[in-house]
Amino acid sequence: MKECKKALVLLNMGGARNKDELEMFLTNMFNDKNILTIKSDFFRSLIAKFIVSSRKDSAWKNYEEIGNRSPINPLTEKLVSKLNDEFEDICVVQVMRYTPPFASEVVKELEKKKVKEVILFPMYPQYSTTTTKSSVEDFIEYSKRKFHIEVIEPFYKNRIFNEAIIDTIKNSVENYKEYNLIFSAHGLPQKIVDKGDPYEKQINEHVDILSKILEEYNIDFKSISLAYQSKVGPMKWLEPSLDSELTKYRNQKVLIYPIAFLIDNSETDFELSIEYKEEADKIGVLDYKVCKCLNSDEKFIKAIKDIIKDK
């Protein structure tokens, strides 16, 4: 890493590189008080152990279908490398919440480089206590006031960022009018939203913004809708679920855009591209396509530079 006084830190959840890291990912995630909102650390730990032991083998089978690792790691490394080429006086690094590189390691690295100012860039366009809050709190806890820290606010309204999304969407199919566009967001238990989490509101606003830009560019899909993926357990989650939304499109074509993700990961490469495609095939969807995330797209890099320009 080059020497610099300011660092841009990309915050994300992480992903497993092997089976041991998958167990690490699940253990750290379910021990996160922002995920399992149980006040007692002891009882949260017990529940986490039970969930991990019951899910890790089936979860690994999913990873085996996408090459035995999450794509999030090499894709983020590529983005970090490109961003470092863009900045002369800012070091760009990544911190993952549940797998390496952890905040504790990166803080030590930044200290060695005599970094004084840190810009935290949560890789979540919309705010949630389960993602943004968790990642930001984790870094701040380990930084122990060693740096002056600025935190990037939710950036789903940024025009350049949204144009990068529109470019991805319009390059994914040839005849828009033949396709129903579904913005798929990672789901949340309804009780988290009921406690004041702004995620659902911001997701709805983001869909509205993107729909208006599509209209500006005369990109007319057969329909545009929002659905939520990744529901687990018996409790009520945000609706409509993606599997129920897909039932509307028998004998029709569907394009999915993963609106809550910036970097491809197991939820996009396995869940959306394999698991939900199997559901779509059973329903009788004629054609089912999933857009790639922005990853290290040049316009996304331009958007990041625009988002942090005043920091």
Which residues in 207-241 are b (16+ Cβ under 10 Å) and which e?
bebbbeebeeeebebbebbbbbbbbeeeeebbeeb
pLDDT band at 232 (very low <50, low <70, confident <90, very high): confident
Average pLDDT, integer, range 155-161: 98
pLDDT band at 300 (very low <50, low <70, confident <90, very high): very high
The answer to whether residue 221 scores a pLDDT higher than 70 is yes
117-122/148-151 β-pairing = parallel
pLDDT band at 1 (very low <50, low <70, confident <90, very high): low
Higher-pLDDT residue of 50 and 226 is: 226
The answer to whether residue 74 scores a pLDDT higher than 90 is yes
Average pLDDT, integer, range 201-230: 98
Per cent of the chain over pLDDT 90 is 88
The answer to whether residue 3 scores a pLDDT higher than 80 is no
Cis amide prior to 100 (ω within 30 degrees): no
Fold matches, 6-154 and 159-290 = yes
For 175-205, write each residue's pLDDT tens digit: 999 999 999 999 999 999 999 999 999 999 9
Rg (CA), the chain: 19
Torsion of CA 280, 168, 223, 179, to 10 degrees: -50
Res 208: pLDDT: 98
Q: How many CB atoms lie within 10 A of CB 133?
A: 15
* 159 close to 203: Cβ distance less than 8 angstroms: no
**Whole-Å CA distances, 7 to 10, 46, 150, 251:** 10, 37, 10, 50
Tell me the fold of 159-290: Rossmann fold (3.40.50)
Res 45: pLDDT: 87
Higher-pLDDT residue of 232 and 253 is: 253
What is the widest separation between alpha-carbon atoms in the chain? 60
For 101-133, write each residue's pLDDT tens digit: 999 999 999 999 999 999 999 999 999 999 999
What distance in Å separates the CA atoms of residue 109 and residue 38, rounded to the nearest whole number? 33
253-258/6-12 β-pairing = unpaired
Average pLDDT, integer, range 254-282: 98
What ranges do the domains of the chain cover?
Answer: 6-154, 159-290
**Which CATH code fits 6-154?**
3.40.50.1400
Which residues in 55-93 are b (16+ Cβ under 10 Å) and which e?
ebeebeeebeebeebbbbbebbeebbebbbeebeebbbb
pLDDT band at 60 (very low <50, low <70, confident <90, very high): very high
The answer to whether residue 2 scores a pLDDT higher than 70 is no
